């Protein structure tokens, strides 16, 4: 099985952050028998990220995206997956409830920008994750989109919990896994 890793973030291209997660994922993929054939870094640009996803899905069995799932305007991974697959983003009520509970437990109100973390390509199945926002998976245009967002040290647990299921699924079709993490 061939895989490709796409790290997302202008901060990576500028050298402000070292991409330790791509190295970690390459090691984990090898451990589960998935060869990493390509790794690339794309800045926070919707057109370039969408093109990178489309290209990667055309040449790999598994594509893993790292980053770009947070609440800020430059977090564009969801939108790029939506554009690459032609599946509109939809809000997941259970995910929104969990996020609201997370903020309420800290006596904080959820900003509207945070709620975009609950949007996923249509057809997505919501899953609980060790971090927020919750994980999800979706089969769209012969692709699957598990999402296990986290920042270290929980990134490894998220990858193990969601992506190993995704990558080891033997679906026999292009697969796309998304993760958010700070390197």
| pLDDT by 10s per residue, the chain, length 183 | 788 889 999 999 999 999 888 888 888 888 888 889 999 999 999 999 999 999 988 888 777 888 887 888 898 988 998 898 888 999 888 888 988 999 999 999 999 999 988 888 887 655 544 344 444 444 443 344 444 443 444 455 555 544 544 544 433 444 455 544 333
List pLDDT tens digits, range 77-126.
889 988 988 889 998 888 889 889 999 999 999 999 999 888 888 876 55
User: Which CATH number characterizes residue 155's domain?
Assistant: 3.40.980.10
Residue with tokens 């033997």: 170
Q: Is 15 left (phi over 0), alpha (psi -120 to 50) or beta?
A: left
With contact defined as beta carbons under 8 Å apart, do 106 and 121 qualify?
Answer: no
Report pLDDT for 135: 45
Containing H/E element for 56? helix 46-59
- In angstroms, the Cα distances linking 173 to 14, 84, 167 are 34, 16, 11
Q: Is 61 left (phi over 0), alpha (psi -120 to 50) or beta?
A: alpha
Q: Is 31 exposed, middle or buried (CB count within 10 Å of its CB: 0-12, 13-18, 19+)?
A: exposed
What distance in Å separates the CA atoms of residue 51 and residue 161, rounded to the nearest whole number? 28
Domain count, the chain: 1
What is the span of the domain harbouring residue 128?
2-179
What distance in Å separates the CA atoms of residue 15 and residue 38, rounded to the nearest whole number? 20
């Amino acid at each position: 099985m061939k895989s490709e890793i796409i790290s997302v973030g202008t901060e990576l291209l500028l050298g402000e952050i070292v991409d330790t997660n791509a190295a970690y994922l390459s090691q984990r993929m090898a451990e589960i028998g998935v060869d990493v054939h390509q790794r690339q870094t794309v800045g926070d640009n919707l057109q370039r990220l969408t093109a990178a996803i489309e290209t990667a899905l055309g040449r790999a069995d598994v594509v893993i995206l790292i980053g770009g799932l947070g609440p800020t305007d430059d977090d564009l991974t969801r939108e790029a997956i939506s554009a690459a697959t032609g599946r509109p983003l939809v809000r997941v009520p259970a995910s929104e409830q969990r996020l609201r509970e997370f903020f309420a437990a800290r006596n904080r109100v959820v900003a509207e920008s945070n709620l975009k973390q609950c949007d996923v390509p249509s057809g997505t199945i919501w899953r609980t994750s060790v971090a927020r926002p919750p994980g999800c998976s979706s089969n769209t245009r012969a692709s699957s989109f598990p999402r296990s967002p986290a920042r270290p040290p929980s990134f490894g647990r998220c990858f193990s919990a969601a992506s190993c299921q995704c990558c080891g699924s033997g679906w026999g079709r292009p697969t796309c896994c998304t993760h958010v993490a700070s390197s």
